[in-house]
Amino acid sequence: MESKMKAAGNVSLNVDGKEVLFDVYSGSHGPNVIDITKLYKETGMFTLDPGFTSTASCESQIAFIDGDEGVLLYRGYPIDQLAENSDFVEVAYLLLDGQLPTETQYREFRHDITYHTMVHEQFKNFFNGFRRDAHPMAIMCGAVGALSAFYHDSTDITDPEQRRIATYRMIAKMPTIAAMAYKYSSGQPFVAPRNDLDYTENFLRMCFAVPAEDYEVNKVLASALDKIFILHMDHEQNASTSTVRLAGSSNANPFACIAAGIACLWGPSHGGANEAALNMLAEIGSVDRIPEYVAKAKDKSDPFRLMGFGHRVYKNYDPRAKVMQKACHEVLEAMDIRDEPLLDIALELEKIALEDEYFVSKKLYPNIDFYSGITLRALGFPTDMFTVLFALARTVGWIAQWREMIEDPSQRIGRPRQIYTGAAQRDFIDRTKR
Ligand code: SDX
């Protein structure tokens, strides 16, 4: 990646009478950055920023979020335009390459992804080691990490061709592995991918087809799921993407890095929120119990939070949540689900929360996870598969960000420092004298 930061003056810091100048850079959108690379050398001090609320970890040209305006761009294109007009394969190409593909580029890329969807026959043995009631995300952590044991010919991260093949294998095999995790937990036989289906149709068939009868993909549902995958593909330096970058900074192989991202995404504060949000709506159970749960969410002594609400960056409505809510109505209509009490609770909860001073003052809005659970359940997925679907889509962003980091000449192994407040240095005392 060639840097496109633009010099934007400097700022000075006065440390014990010594003035230290730091360069400031601007990007295409968003806040300027202060380059503090030399801070320790010049001042003998570190910065402290737990949670990285004011820290840019890298330069990136893939996604951009304007949290105040509620805008998300993938390579400059607004997420709602891509969700409405594009498809998974084309947006994956865009995130990886930086430009929308021509028809020829699209067809070639789609062919390459399609012909990498099968997994090694021995890979199936991994699943037999898991209990049938294992959480599918636990299976994904183990299975994706194991890919390194099968594809030695694409783990040399210094070889651009091996990076390309590993990228295609990762994107192509995630649906197959995710569907295998689902089938394994349901006790049904694995269904192999088919080359005559598009990416998302193939995934739906691998999940819901059974050998006992033919399976016809519902095009409306496939289109809605394709849109949902696009919404989840990338999101700047979120916790799981930062995990992938940090793992990759040690030159670990890409399969291991993606497995690290899956593990981080599983947390209920991150990708696990879609599963937690649906469970929360089910626990609330009826519209008249909403005030009780809103009060719990506001009670500092109560650890309960409204799952699917709030965001580190969005201090406005998550643009993905708007598209997700639309997709939710499309799926419910396509499935002829006229009465979905969880949706009624979600709509009323959103209305109450957005009028409540606590949520307004803290700028807490629904995020992508608020409506996704209802939609995915209507598509036929069990709750514990929701974060697996998030990981399937986010693999595109993770691998695009991983490649950008590997190809960034300024990248070094990530190694944060700390402020130490433990015991001051002291000498060992023999146990007989303690
Ligand atoms: C994702 O980073 C990404 O981009 C992530 C993601 C992606 O695409 O990769 O967008 C995907 O992870 C979406 C977020 C999913 N998580 C949830 O829905 C879980 C519920 N939300 C929260 O736990 C919380 O909002 C976070 C984790 C999302 C953000 O946490 P922050 O930025 O650290 O904010 P915070 O915890 O400091 O909260 C600020 C204040 C606090 O109150 P005060 O201490 O200032 O009094 O807002 C309160 C919090 O208590 N608050 C909530 C709340 N979220 C924040 N109060 C009630 N309910 C909530 N959901």
pLDDT per position as a tens digit, 262-307? 999 999 999 988 989 999 999 999 999 999 999 999 999 999 999 9
Q: Please list, residue by residue across 62-87, b when 16 or more beta carbons sit within 10 angstroms of its beta carbon and e when fewer do.
A: bbbbbbeebbbbbbeeebbebbeebb
| Catalytic (active-site) positions | 311, 369
Question: How many CB atoms neighbour CB 100 within 10 A?
Answer: 15
Three-class SS state of 214: coil
Q: What is the pLDDT of residue 316?
A: 87
Q: Please list, residue by residue across 362-376, b when 16 or more beta carbons sit within 10 angstroms of its beta carbon and e when fewer do.
A: eebbbbbbbbbbbbb
Q: Is residue 337 predicted with pLDDT exceeding 90?
A: no
User: How far is Cα of residue 230 from the mean position of the Cα atoms in its chain?
Assistant: 11
Calpha distance 221→216 (Å, rounded): 11
For residues 372-389, average pLDDT:
93
Only one residue has tokens 């962003």, namely 397
Q: What is the pLDDT of residue 42?
A: 95
Q: What is the pLDDT of residue 152?
A: 84
Calpha distance 297→91 (Å, rounded): 36
For residues 251-263, average pLDDT:
96
pLDDT digits (tens, 9 = 90+) for 202-232: 999 999 999 999 999 999 999 999 999 999 9
What is the whole-number distance in angstroms between the Cα of residue 309 and the centre of ligand 1?
7
Do strands 71-74 and 33-34 pair parallel, antiparallel, or not at all (unpaired)? unpaired
What one-character DSSP code corresponds to residue 40? H
Question: How many CB atoms neighbour CB 221 within 10 A?
Answer: 20
Residue 247, ligand 1, Cβ within 6 A: no
What is the whole-number distance in angstroms between the Cα of residue 135 and the centre of ligand 1?
24
Please, are residues 340 and 378 in contact by the beta-carbon 8 Å criterion? yes
Residue 269, ligand 1, Cβ within 6 A: yes
Q: Is residue 155 predicted with pLDDT exceeding 90?
A: no
DSSP letter string over 263-314? HHHTSTTTTTHHHHHHHHHHHH-SGGGHHHHHHHHH-TT-----TTB--SS-
Q: Hey, whose CA ends up nearest to atom 40 of ligand 1?
A: 362
Three-class SS state of 13: strand
Q: Hey, whose CA ends up nearest to atom 54 of ligand 1?
A: 310
> What percent of the chain lies above the pLDDT cut of 90?
85
Please, are residues 362 and 201 in contact by the beta-carbon 8 Å criterion? no
Q: What is the pLDDT of residue 102?
A: 98
For residues 110-118, average pLDDT:
96
Length reported for the chain? 434
Residue 272, ligand 1, Cβ within 6 A: no
* Dihedral pair phi/psi, residue 10, rounded to 5°: -155, 170
pLDDT band at 393 (very low <50, low <70, confident <90, very high): very high
Q: Quick one: CA dihedral 101, 246, 2, 68, positive or negative?
A: positive
User: Which is more confidently placed, 7 or 332?
Assistant: 7
**Is residue 305 left, alpha or beta, with left meaning phi > 0 and alpha meaning psi from -120 to 50?**
beta
- pTM attached to this predicted model: 0.94
pLDDT digits (tens, 9 = 90+) for 48-76: 999 999 999 999 999 999 999 999 999 99
Residue 310, ligand 1, Cβ within 6 A: yes
pLDDT band at 154 (very low <50, low <70, confident <90, very high): confident
Q: Hey, whose CA ends up nearest to atom 55 of ligand 1?
A: 310
Q: Hey, whose CA ends up nearest to atom 25 of ligand 1?
A: 310
Q: Is residue 338 predicted with pLDDT exceeding 90?
A: no
Question: How many CB atoms neighbour CB 338 within 10 A?
Answer: 7
Q: Which atom of ligand 1 is found nearest the CA of 241?
A: 9
Q: Is residue 99 predicted with pLDDT exceeding 90?
A: yes
What is the whole-number distance in angstroms between the Cα of residue 92 and the centre of ligand 1?
27
* Dihedral pair phi/psi, residue 148, rounded to 5°: -60, -30
By most ligand atoms within 8 Å of CB, the mutation choice from 65, 269, 365 for ligand 1 is: 269
Q: Which atom of ligand 1 is found nearest the CA of 239?
A: 2
Residue 322, ligand 1, Cβ within 6 A: no
Q: Retrieve residue 397's tokens.
A: 């962003």
Residues 6+ apart with CB under 8 A from 102: none
Residue 305, ligand 1, Cβ within 6 A: yes
